[in-house]
Amino acid sequence: MPGKLKVKLEIDRSVTHSNKAVIIPLAQRDMVHWFLQGVDQHYERYAIGALQQLSREIAFFTVDQLAEPEKAEAIQEKLAKILEKKFVHIGGMLSDYKRLNFLEPVMEAAKSLPKLELPSLADAFVRLTSLRRRMSTDIETVGEPIDVAVVSKIDRFVWVRKRGYDDFN
């Protein structure tokens, strides 16, 4: 079984002078995460865990084959610590790569979008999630109509498109 991912990308969710845009999915986050990070988060965790497991198994097998039996366990413990540090470092490198090549370009584009175009971006994320659910064996929990709101410092929370509770068309 693959190990657990020990590196997690934390995203500042505050809009400030230096952080001018935030994209926060409110419900099903997987497709938004995939779009912003460039990879499915479940796949990423699985792949990193599988690589950690493989590297441990190869290292321990090599030690078992080459080291004297009485020294093998001590060598394996040291090797496990070294591998853990390396995977934390590699996890940081992968996070930096995702941030520079996927997240930051999208956020830069989002910052420059006019406020009236932001609902289209939100709508596209929901439609992408809906399409993904329809094309998989997952339960389809996203669909039409799509309610969209914009939150801004001046206008606060404003519904751009919202279906009324009595409107079932």
Asked whether the predicted pLDDT for residue 26 surpasses 50, the reply is yes
Alpha-carbon span 163 to 146, nearest angstrom = 8
| Most confident listed range (7-21, 52-66, 89-103) | 89-103
Strands 156-161 and 148-152: antiparallel
> Is there a contact between 25 and 32 (Cβ–Cβ < 8 Å)?
yes
* CA–CA dist 76, 10 (Å, integer): 32
CA distance 83 to 8: 18
- Taking Cα atoms as reference points, which of 143, 126, 127, 141 lies closest to residue 25? 126
Partners of 159 in the beta sheet?
Answer: 149
Average pLDDT over residues 109-127: 84
Global pTM reads: 0.67
The secondary structure element, H or E, covering residue 148 is: strand 148-152
**5 pLDDT band (50/70/90 cuts)?**
very low
pLDDT above 90 covers a percentage of the chain that reads 12
